[in-house]
């Protein structure tokens, strides 16, 4: 089996600028993620074009713009940089919420059974005898995440919002990211 390396990217700038750069760098990986799970995504992409699905995402965006406008900027930057439609970027970022709303709206138990319940695995190891606490997380939701994940080092510069009344935080972090989703 051929060895594979996880891509590593560094970005710096405002929330929008960083996400835009990530979109440019990962647009092929985002498309690959979508193509790998197209059976599930195509249904959800169609759902968010319905009145109910559109309203769900508009409500999410309204809350994000109100509480964390800099994360809204990241979503827009990622869509702009990758040239992937914003509604698809939203599905990737609100996957569980969109799927739940779809099942609620359509009562699609058959689809849920065909796709199966998906999710990642998290394990907590608490070794009191060695004073070690470990939180382990496996991205086993989908093979698409294995094929399209990457490491990202980010240096986000603060931005003013609401005519200087609010300000986003300066942030520096390293994260494993799923293509098409903002880190976090």
pLDDT for the residue 93? 93
pLDDT for the residue 127? 83
pLDDT for the residue 124? 73
pLDDT for the residue 113? 41
Helices 95-106 and 51-67: crossing angle, nearest 10°?
150
CB 67 within 8 A of CB 12: no
Query: How far, in Å, are 61, 77, 159, 165 from residue 170 at the CA level?
Result: 22, 17, 8, 16
> What are 171's two structure tokens?
């942030």
CA atoms within 13 A of residue 120's CA, in its CB half-sphere:
12
Helices 95-106 and 86-93: crossing angle, nearest 10°?
90
Q: How far apart are the first and last CA of the chain?
A: 31
**pLDDT averaged over consecutive 10-residue blocks of the chain (184 residues)?**
78 98 97 92 95 94 95 97 97 90 68 51 78 68 69 96 94 93 88
pLDDT for the residue 27? 97
pTM here?
Answer: 0.81
């Amino acid at each position: 089996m051929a060895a594979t390396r996880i891509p590593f990217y560094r970005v710096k700038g405002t929330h929008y600028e960083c996400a835009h750069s990530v979109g440019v760098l990962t647009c092929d990986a985002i498309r690959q993620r979508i193509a790998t799970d197209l059976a599930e995504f195509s249904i959800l992409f169609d759902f968010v074009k319905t009145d109910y699905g559109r309203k769900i995402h508009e409500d999410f965006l309204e809350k994000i713009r109100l509480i964390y406008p800099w994360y809204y900027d990241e979503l827009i930057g990622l869509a702009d940089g990758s040239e992937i439609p914003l509604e698809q970027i939203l599905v990737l970022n609100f996957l569980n919420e969109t799927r739940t709303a779809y099942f609620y709206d359509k009562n699609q138990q058959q689809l849920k059974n065909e796709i199966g319940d998906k999710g990642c695995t998290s394990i907590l190891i608490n070794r009191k005898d060695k004073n070690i606490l470990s939180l382990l997380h496996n991205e086993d939701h989908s093979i698409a995440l294995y094929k399209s994940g990457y490491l990202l080092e980010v240096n986000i510069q603060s931005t003013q919002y609401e005519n200087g009344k609010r300000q986003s935080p300066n942030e520096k972090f390293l994260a494993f990211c799923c293509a098409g989703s903002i880190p976090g």
